[in-house]
Amino acid sequence: MSFMKENVLQTKSFDFAVKIVKLCLEIQKKDKEYILTKQLLRSGTSVGANVEESIGGRSNKDLYHRLVISYKEARESHYWIRLLFEAELINKESKEELLTDVDELLRILGASKRTLKSNINAEKN
């Protein structure tokens, strides 16, 4: 992926997934809550999994499609983090740290999608 030479998105999405896994396991152990944490676990780890899969993409369209999925999963993670906070399953510090991380991922993914979409449109012409 030419626009991610340093793999910043790959690194940040993986680090985010690790934080999500640890948080969900902690909540499950402490509070015996499995339904909401399963949702966050799925969406939070899917961001990085789709970024990783996009690296092996065969075309710009394939790459774009994976980034769109990653973006949607990051938006969903944003929702679950806020919900877990309001349900008093995570503290304010955890919420703010995770929202900062996911907001950064959303900005990177959004910019990457725009760049890639522009490249795809240029290829058509």
CA separation for the pair 25, 70 (Å, rounded): 22
Query: How confident is the model over 63-93, as pLDDT tens digits?
Result: 999 999 999 999 999 999 999 999 999 999 9
Range of the structural domain that residue 66 is part of: 2-124
pLDDT of residue 71: 98
Q: Is the pLDDT of residue 5 over 60?
A: no
Output the pLDDT for position 120: 86
Instruction: Tell me how far apart the alpha carbons of residues 71 and 66 are, in angstroms, rounded to a whole number.
Output: 9
Q: What is the pLDDT of residue 6?
A: 64
Predicted confidence at residue 59, as pLDDT, reads 87
Structural domains counted in the chain: 1
**CA 53/CA 44 separation, integer angstroms:** 15
Between 119 and 81, where is the model more confident?
81
Question: CB–CB of 109/75 below 8 Å?
Answer: no
Q: List the alpha helices (DSSP H) in the chain.
A: 8-31, 35-55, 60-86, 92-124
Per-residue pLDDT tens digits for 36-58 = 999 999 999 999 999 999 888 78
Q: Which residue has the higher pLDDT, 3 or 97?
A: 97
Task: Report the CATH number at residue 90.
Answer: 1.20.1440.60
Please work out, in degrees rounded to the nearest 5, the angle formed at the alpha carbon of residue 108 by the alpha carbons of 105 and 109.
Answer: 80
